[in-house]
A and B are shown apart, each in its own frame.
Chain A
Amino acid sequence: MATISDRLELALDCVTDGRPSRVPRSLPTEEFTTEAFRAEAAAVAERAVPWTVGSGVQGVGIGEKVTEGQPTGELALRVYVDRKHPKARIDNPVPDQVDVGDLRGVITDVIAIGPVEAELFVDRTRPCMPGCGIGHPKVSAGTLGAFVRRNGNDALFALSNAHVLADDGLAARGDPVLQPAADDGGHDATDTIALLEDFVPFEFGDTGFPNLVDAAIARVEGHLVDLAIRLLGRPPAGITTNVRRGMRVHKVGRTTDLTTGIIQDVHLRLSMMYRRAAHDRARVGFRDQVLCTRFTQGGDSGSLVLSSSNRAVGLHFAGSPSSSVFNRIGHVLETLDVDLVVGE
């Protein structure tokens, strides 16, 4: 039985590369390896060039079709554009559906995601925005998640993980935070964007799950930053502590940009190894964490996790080959004693 996502993967290959990279197991291999199919796939790719690599097209992928703002529950071949235009004004609009030989009726969807500049997350960016790569000079790279304030003061702080801004907690207050991060070529002489202000110390131990967050803040000058999250074009709309299994969340991160995950477990207790001293790693047990399907990669640590209504639900900090884990936003803000900067 051919699954819809296998059909879409095959269609995506054909439309972008002109041939399947592999035929998914659920599809009849013989049908999709014939000369006729190859010729058809190559022709489809050629016809699709205006809407797969044309001006204003940011990328092509697979995702849920969204009609008038509502997810339809149906997977579609997605074309990501910087902004949408009326069809009549486009010479080669994205067809409503794509046929490649026997692979017929693959539906498409056009999603406006704003201009994507591939290197911007790792490049030096001023003003610097949430979603950009940052880190302590001794840390490879993480993500600037959001901005926060303390006690109603005007001073602005960048929020990310302790393992990003505070070198697992080994850093000292006042240490520089770089944008771009060290791994992306940042140097403290020229690229310091913020100074480490505070972090939540880890409670190490061979047993127990006392920790709630991997979080830190660094003081930034207001003129160096833009409060709007990259790719979303606006700050978080607020916060919500309502997290449910099955709920869809998204984040903008240094490595994988804007991606979506689904919450799978809202009662997660886990332990991981962090450095307690320069050459001493020890166990840190966390409670009350949230596990999602995989929607992040290394370097996305510190990304703000948002609900579909753009309210902050968490701070991404860890992942495995099949999952991504975030701290609940309520715990982050409470333990650091800060307020999230929100807006419309």
Chain B
Amino acid sequence: MATARQATRAAQMHAEELSAYPNVVAIGTRPVDASATKGTEAEHAVAVYVSRKVPGEQLDDEERLPAYVEVPEPGGTERVPVVVVESGVIEPEAEDTTAVRDQGYTSE
């Protein structure tokens, strides 16, 4: 079971490669069970924030995010799950005068 610390290391190590997938806007960490907000006992995952979630079957193999990434541990590796979170496009938040941009999001 991946700890918060392992998830943080995994997010750092794999941020570059995970960011290269389509629609990815940010990489972070979060507990696998969203109700577990405190402590490090809960299993943690690498969170991949995307502008838009696309069903897996509509993606080519190389476009599909991996189910987990690995971090080295003494005597082996730990698998850290990857969870995909739809955040929308994240933009700098000055007042926006163009109102609605592509993808139907009101930008900032």
Q: Which residues of A contact B (CB under 8 A)?
A: 135, 139-142, 161, 163-164, 168, 181, 183, 207-209, 214, 244-246, 254-255, 264-274, 285, 287, 289, 291, 296-301, 316-325
Contacts and interface: CB of A to CB of B under 8 A. Distances in A.
Contacts of A285: 19
B78 interface: no
Contacts of B38: 244-246
A301 B30 contact: no
B61 interface: no
B11 interface: yes
Contacts of B15: 209, 269, 287
Nearest to B97: A140
B91 interface: yes
Contacts of B31: 245
Given A246-B37, A271-B26, A323-B87, A318 B16 contact: no
Contact of B93 (A135, A168, A269, A299): A299
Interface string B1-43: 0000000100110011001000001111111000001100000
A246 B12 CA distance: 22
B89 interface: yes
Nearest to A264: B30
A168 B105 CA distance: 22
A135 B94 contact: yes
A265 B94 contact: no
A135 B15 CA distance: 33
Contacts of A297: 93, 108
Given A140-B96, A272-B92, A296-B93, A208 B108 contact: no
Nearest to A268: B28
Contacts of B12: 267
Contact residues on B (Cβ < 8 Å of other chain), bracket: 20 to 34
A183 to B, nearest CB: 5
5 contacts: A140-B97, A291-B49, A301-B93, A318-B92, A320-B90
B86 interface: yes
Interface of B: 8, 11-12, 15-16, 19, 25-31, 37-38, 47, 49, 86-97, 105-108
| B interface majority secondary structure | mixed
A305 to B, nearest CB: 12
A321 B95 contact: no
Contact of B95 (A181, A246, A318): A181
Contacts of A325: 26, 90
B51 to A, nearest CB: 8
B94 A320 contact: no
B90 A319 contact: yes
A299 B106 contact: no
Given A267-B11, A269-B11, A270-B27, A183 B97 contact: yes
Nearest to A207: B16
A27 to B, nearest CB: 24
Contact of A268 (B27, B89, B91, B92): B27
B94 to A, nearest CB: 5
A323 B94 contact: no
B90 A272 contact: yes
Nearest to B93: A301
Contact of A322 (B86, B96, B108): B86
A289 B91 CA distance: 13
Given A267-B11, A269-B11, A271-B25, A298 B94 contact: yes
Q: Find the residue from B28, B38, B90 having the highest chain A CB count within 10 A.
A: B90
Contacts of A209: 15
B93 A300 contact: yes
A316 B38 CA distance: 24
